[in-house]
Amino acid sequence: MTTEIGERDWEEWSETFWQALQTQGEVETKSESSIKLYAPNKQPTTITYYRKFDPKVHDHTNPFHAPVTEAKSLYQGGFPRSGKHIEMSLKGSDVTYETGDYLAVWPKNLDTHVEALGTRLGLDINQYFSIAKDSILLENFPPCFPNPITIRETFSQYCDLTLPPKRFTIQCLAPFATQKEEREKLERLADAKQTTQADYEAQFYNKDFATILNDFPSVKLTLQEALELIPSARFRYYSISSASQQFPDSVHVTMCRKSVGPPDNCKISLCATYLDQLKAGDLCPIHVTKSEFKLPPKELKLPIIMVAVGTGYAPMRGFLQQRVLEENHENMLFCGYYHKNQDFIYREEVEQLYVPTSLLLCFFQQSLKCIFPFGYGIDAWATGFQSSQDTSESPRPPDQPGSGKYKREVSISPSPHWSPNQFQGSFRVFTSYLYCLLS
Ligand SMILES: Cc1cc2nc3c(=O)[nH]c(=O)nc-3n(C[C@H](O)[C@H](O)[C@H](O)COP(=O)(O)OP(=O)(O)OC[C@H]3O[C@@H](n4cnc5c(N)ncnc54)[C@H](O)[C@@H]3O)c2cc1C
């Protein structure tokens, strides 16, 4: 909400700013094309790069194309989300990581979106083009952006064809409509005073750039104009779900996509859709980013408590692997779920590998707030957690939607490393802390 207000403020401010400068004659809005299209089927003889980078170093300037070695579904049938466990090989690269680090994934757009945009703009997407070295357009792209490059590769890897357009972009698009009605409609939609956010979203959200243009057939754009308007692609972070000591040559990702359906016919989500389509043998552009999210030093032999819902378990999986290697067996995991048989990810691994030796596992249903319903003291809950299975009915807390009763289901797996007293003590401290945070 705060972001939306911030963005609208910025758009209103920038609109006035640019209008004022143009009135003063301070800015030139039309520029010579800085793009040179190659003849069809003609290939460039040399490729240059706008900014210097070391091709052997893989970081935010230049990703490593990691071979996917495994990609398997995380959720059981019927759960209305799609999730994948993906393993990628780091062999032969300079890419290393520590348990708890983040993997930056450089997403690619769906081929259908890339091809639709080429068709809409009347371009042969297999054609090469180059951008003049002094063009400001190059600043949209990372140093590894090759120049010349094909239109297909640019649209696919360096543009975000699904990010909802900002009002400022729509305002810039309006003059390109050759039909008066379309131009006026675009101007109206771009103006927050004339179009509510809900109406704006209904017009532009959940559409790729070609579909947005197709709604305004009289809009004509050159390749340069399209590249100036489309936001450049940015990498997305994923918690690494493997321990570096156990898997030094590979990196695991645990990804969740909020909606399911055919990739080109469901709620748009660029990187999750891209990851969801990956299969063994594909190459995925990545780099590693350091994180502060780390385990306490192993020598301290501290017990740890982890709380996770869904893919929030990703970093915990890496931590658990590392804790077992370090022979730190006092680990407690509070794991949230909606439907235990469908969305308890890595269930077999957790139950068979960790619970018997190193993990005290506690489930809670729905959201964290469900374990703190009004009318239930923390002690009562701590005591409740001591039983191995508790499925009693509880009144629905006032902040939960709906009415009547909801099922309180909590289950705990016994652990050889936690005595009931130790568990109850740690749990009380932990729940008191959480209670303070949530209330
Ligand atoms: C430090 C960190 C760690 C993370 N770890 C994980 C992890 O382990 N696992 C995991 O699954 N995720 C993780 N994430 C989240 C992940 O980085 C992505 O944000 C997430 O996968 C969504 O990215 P996306 O490109 O698929 O969606 P985007 O395309 O960026 O979209 C973001 C949201 O906007 C909506 N949206 C996008 N385009 C449109 C449109 N045209 N119209 C309407 N709505 C639209 C999408 O539906 C989505 O809800 C982590 C994030 C951070 C910052």
Q: How far, in Å, is the centroid of ligand 1 from the Cα of 151?
A: 26
Query: Whose C-alpha lies nearest to ligand 1, atom 5?
Result: 238
Residue nearest to atom 46 of ligand 1 (CA): 269
How many helices (H) and strands (E) would you count in the chain? 14, 18
Alpha-carbon gap, residue 255 to 257, rounded angstroms: 7
For strands 304-309 and 331-337, give the pairing.
parallel
Q: Which domains does the chain have, with CATH numbers?
A: 34-51+112-229 (1.20.990.10), 64-110+234-289 (2.40.30.10), 298-438 (no CATH)
CA distance 293 to 430: 19
Q: What is the pLDDT of residue 158?
A: 97
Of all protein residues, the one whose alpha carbon is nearest to atom 4 of ligand 1 is 238
Residue 366 has a pLDDT of: 53
Nearest to 245 by CA among 430, 98, 85: 98
Tell me, in angstroms, the distance from the centre of ligand 1 to residue 233's CA. 13
Tens digit of pLDDT at every position of the chain (439 positions): 334 455 556 666 666 666 665 555 554 444 568 999 999 889 888 888 988 889 899 999 999 999 999 999 988 776 777 889 999 999 999 999 999 999 999 999 999 999 999 999 999 999 999 999 999 999 999 999 999 999 999 999 999 999 999 999 999 999 999 999 999 999 999 999 999 999 999 999 999 999 999 999 999 999 999 999 999 999 999 999 999 999 999 999 999 887 655 544 556 889 999 999 999 999 999 999 999 999 999 998 888 989 888 889 999 999 999 999 999 988 988 887 777 777 788 988 988 888 888 888 877 765 444 443 332 333 333 333 333 333 333 333 333 333 333 344 455 555 555 555 555 566 556 655 555 555 4
Ligand 1 contact via 227 beta carbon (within 6 Å)? no
Compute, in angstroms, the gap from residue 187 CA to the centroid of ligand 1.
Answer: 29
Please report the beta strands in 227-303, taking only residues with DSSP state E, as ranges in sequence order: 236-239, 250-257, 283-289
Which of 394, 377, 395 minimizes the C-alpha distance to 435? 377
Instruction: Give me the pLDDT at residue 348, please.
Output: 87
Residue 315 exposed, middle or buried by CB count within 10 Å (0-12, 13-18, 19+): buried
Ligand 1 near 256 CB (within 6 A) = yes
Please tell me the predicted confidence (pLDDT) of residue 423. 56
Residue 256 alpha carbon, nearest atom of ligand 1? 11
Q: What's the pLDDT at 10?
A: 65
Contact predicate 308/361, CB 8 Å:
no
Q: Ligand 1 pocket test: which of 157, 268, 275, 278 has the largest number of ligand atoms within 8 Å of its C-beta?
A: 268
Of 339, 137, 71, 120, nearest to 221 (Cα)? Answer: 120
For ligand 1, atom 53, name the residue with the nearest CA.
237
CA dist 124 and 108 (Å) reads 19
Distance 97 CA to ligand 1 centre (A): 22
Q: Taking a C-beta distance cutoff of 8 angstroms, is the pair 115, 98 a contact? A: no
- Give the pairing of strands 359-365 and 331-337: parallel
Residue 139: CB atoms within 10 Å = 9
Can you read off the two tokens belonging to residue 431?
């729940």
At 351 the pLDDT is 86
Note if the pTM is more than 0.95. Answer: no
User: Residue 43 contacts by C-beta under 8 Å, 6 or more apart in sequence?
Assistant: 128
